[in-house]
């Protein structure tokens, strides 16, 4: 399996970076993280019109570009570098692969063209108050109502962009197993509230369902398989995003030690500082290899995808956090201030470690699939 990007993919990455340089500068990130919505709808629409990023992983028959998960991962790597405040991860990394993998052509035909056009934000709700991302953690219930439609009751937590999403794909238990249901964000009995979190650049919400109407997307026999597919895809994408953030923090640290002087010399000329930067570079490059391997395994539906996605998620988010910490340390006192952007990456790195299950959870998955 080759991990090198081809010329078209390199040009695509350059185009995404150029766009984000213009629309996701530090002042834009700080403005949006302080807003109620958490993102700019005009920029979200512009992303769809100019770059068509929302439709990358959507088949052409449903209005998308028909690219693979690799291109989605490349976009997320650049978004992680720029800390883009937008519902891209929830929509493109979680909801779109779940919809496409469901085989429900009617639902795909209804929702995916709107997603590709930037007119619909969709997210996935799996975890609950327990914080578990496995089947045993699903306690939300779904039952058939008197009129034949499904009604859902329960509480979902840590729902990415759940406070603003137009549609929410919810896992819920039925008498036959776990199903996936489409819930309208403004439907009867749906209550949504944004959570106070460490990372203000990525919004999480609590979604409470009280006998809320839902549309069955997958049969209870296939529902958890769909949810697992979305989680694996999300893990691989989160690894890519984390590599972008880790590389950015490494660049920030290196740029600073090149110019900061002590005793008449740039501190980057001190051997101890050189070693710290070199060690961090090795870890970031190793994380990039792991992330690229996992996203290609996803695109090619490799047999070991579940293993490599969890391996990459655990390793890359840990490296990102280590890089964010090292960046603050190398900056010294200024790195601890609110005015410096180092803490924004530190917060994103820590939240990414916990999102979709912490590193211990994913190492357990690796052990299981390795037969350990």
Structure tokens at 333: 């006192």
- Residue 113 scores a pLDDT above 90: yes
d(CA 126, CA 180): 9
Q: Are residues 249 and 354 in the same domain?
A: yes
Task: Give yes or no for a contact between 346 and 325, defined as CB atoms under 8 angstroms apart.
Answer: yes
> Are 309 and 257 contained in the same domain?
yes
Judge whether 308 lies within some domain.
Answer: yes
Q: pLDDT (tens digit, 9 = 90+) per residue, 265-301?
A: 877 668 888 999 999 999 999 999 999 999 999 999 8
Output the CA angle 247-344-123, nearest 5 degrees: 90
Q: Do 262 and 278 reside in the same domain of the chain?
A: yes
* 176 plus 249 within the same structural domain: no
Structure tokens at 96: 């779109």
Residues 63-89 have a mean pLDDT of 96
Question: Which whole number is the average pLDDT over 107-118?
Answer: 96
Q: Is residue 66 part of a domain?
A: yes
Q: Is the pLDDT of residue 226 over 90?
A: yes
For residues 343 and 247, give the distance between their C-alpha atoms in angstroms, rounded to a whole number. Answer: 15
Burial class (CB in 10 A: 0-12, 13-18, 19+), 290: buried
List Cβ neighbours of 62 (8 Å cut-off, separation of 6 or more). 100, 108, 109, 112, 113, 116
Kindly list the distances between the CA atom of residue 132 and the CA atoms of 118, 127, 284, in Å, as whole numbers in the listed order.
31, 6, 28
Q: Answer whether residue 314 is part of any domain.
A: yes
Residues 273, 277: Cα–Cα separation, whole Å: 6
Torsion of CA 203, 163, 183, 348, to 10 degrees: 0
pTM score, two decimals?
0.94
What are the tokens at 246? 């880790």
Asked if 326 and 253 count as a contact pair (C-beta separation under 8 A), the reply is yes
> Which of 68, 102, 120 finishes a domain?
120
Examine the pLDDT at 367 and tell me if it is beyond 70.
Answer: yes
Give the pLDDT of residue 146: 77
201 confidence band (pLDDT: 50, 70, 90): very high
Residue 260 has pLDDT above 90, yes or no: no
User: Does 229 share its domain with 366?
Assistant: yes
Domain boundary among 94, 120, 146: 120
Q: Do 200 and 243 fall into the same domain?
A: no
Q: Does residue 159 fall inside a structural domain?
A: yes
Instruction: Please check whether residues 46 and 157 belong to one and the same domain.
Output: no
Establish if 162 belongs to a structural domain.
yes
Give the end of a domain, one of 120, 139, 162. Answer: 120
pLDDT at 182 over 90: yes
Domain membership of residue 358 (yes or no) is: yes
Q: What is the SS3 assignment for 8? A: helix
Same domain, 184 and 77: no
| The pLDDT value given to residue 148 | 77
Percentage with pLDDT > 70 across the chain? 99
The candidate with the shortest Cα–Cα distance to 354, out of 322, 318, 326, 319, is 318
Residue 14 belongs to domain with CATH number: 1.10.540.10
Query: Is residue 14 predicted with pLDDT exceeding 70?
Result: yes
Rounded to whole angstroms, the Cα distance separating 97 from 220 reads 18
Residue 1 within any structural domain of the chain = no
- Phi-psi region for residue 57, left (φ > 0), alpha (ψ -120 to 50) or beta? alpha
User: Domain count of the chain?
Assistant: 3
CATH number at residue 245: 1.20.140.10
In a domain, 2, yes or no: no
Domain co-membership, 43 together with 15 = yes
Alpha helices in the chain (DSSP H): 7-23, 26-33, 41-46, 69-82, 88, 96-102, 105-116, 223-259, 271-299, 305-331, 342-354, 359-370
- Rg value, the chain, Cα: 21
Predicted confidence (pLDDT) at residue 1 exceeds the cutoff of 60: no
Task: For residue 154, give its domain range.
Answer: 123-221
Same domain, 89 and 209: no
* CATH label of the domain that carries residue 142: 2.40.110.10
CA dihedral sign of residues 111, 169, 34, 314: negative
Task: Show the tokens assigned to 224.
Answer: 């958890």
336 and 276 inside one domain: yes
pLDDT of 2 above 60: no
16 and 94 inside one domain: yes
Which 8-state DSSP code applies to residue 338?
A: T
């Amino acid at each position: 399996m080759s991990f090198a990007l081809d010329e078209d993919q390199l040009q695509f990455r350059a185009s995404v970076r150029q766009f984000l340089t213009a629309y996701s500068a530090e002042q834009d990130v700080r403005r949006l993280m302080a807003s109620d919505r958490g993102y700019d709808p005009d920029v979200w629409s512009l992303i769809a019109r100019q770059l068509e990023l929302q439709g990358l992983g959507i088949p052409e028959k449903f209005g998308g570009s028909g690219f693979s998960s690799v291109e989605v991962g490349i976009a997320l790597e650049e978004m992680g570098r720029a800390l883009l405040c937008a519902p891209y991860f929830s929509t493109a990394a979680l909801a779109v692969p779940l919809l496409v993998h469901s085989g429900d052509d009617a639902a795909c035909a209804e929702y995916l063209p709107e997603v590709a056009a930037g007119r619909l934000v969709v997210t996935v709700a799996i975890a609950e108050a327990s914080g578990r991302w496995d089947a045993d953690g699903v306690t939300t219930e779904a039952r058939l109502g008197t009129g034949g439609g499904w009604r859902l009751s329960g509480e979902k937590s840590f729902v990415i962009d759940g406070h603003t999403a137009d549609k929410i794909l919810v896992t819920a238990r039925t008498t036959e197993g776990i199903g996936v249901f489409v819930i309208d964000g403004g439907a009867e009995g749906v209550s949504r509230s944004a959570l106070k979190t460490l990372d203000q650049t990525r919004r999480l919400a609590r979604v409470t369902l009280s006998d809320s109407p839902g549309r069955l997307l997958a049969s209870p026999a296939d529902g958890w398989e769909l949810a697992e597919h979305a989680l694996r895809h999300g893990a691989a994408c989160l690894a890519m995003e984390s590599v972008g953030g880790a590389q950015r923090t490494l660049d920030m640290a290196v740029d600073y030690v090149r110019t900061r002087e002590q005793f008449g010399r740039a501190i980057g000329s001190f051997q101890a500082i050189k070693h710290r930067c070199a060690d961090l570079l090795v870890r970031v490059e190793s994380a990039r290899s792991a992330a690229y391997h996992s996203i290609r395994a996803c695109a090619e539906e490799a047999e070991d995808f579940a293993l490599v996605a969890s391996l990459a998620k655990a390793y890359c988010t840990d490296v990102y956090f280590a890089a964010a910490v090292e960046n603050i340390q190398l900056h010294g006192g200024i790195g601890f201030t609110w005015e410096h952007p180092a803490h924004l990456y530190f917060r994103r790195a820590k939240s990414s470690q916990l999102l979709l299950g912490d590193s211990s959870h994913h190492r357990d998955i690796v052990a299981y699939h390795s037969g350990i």
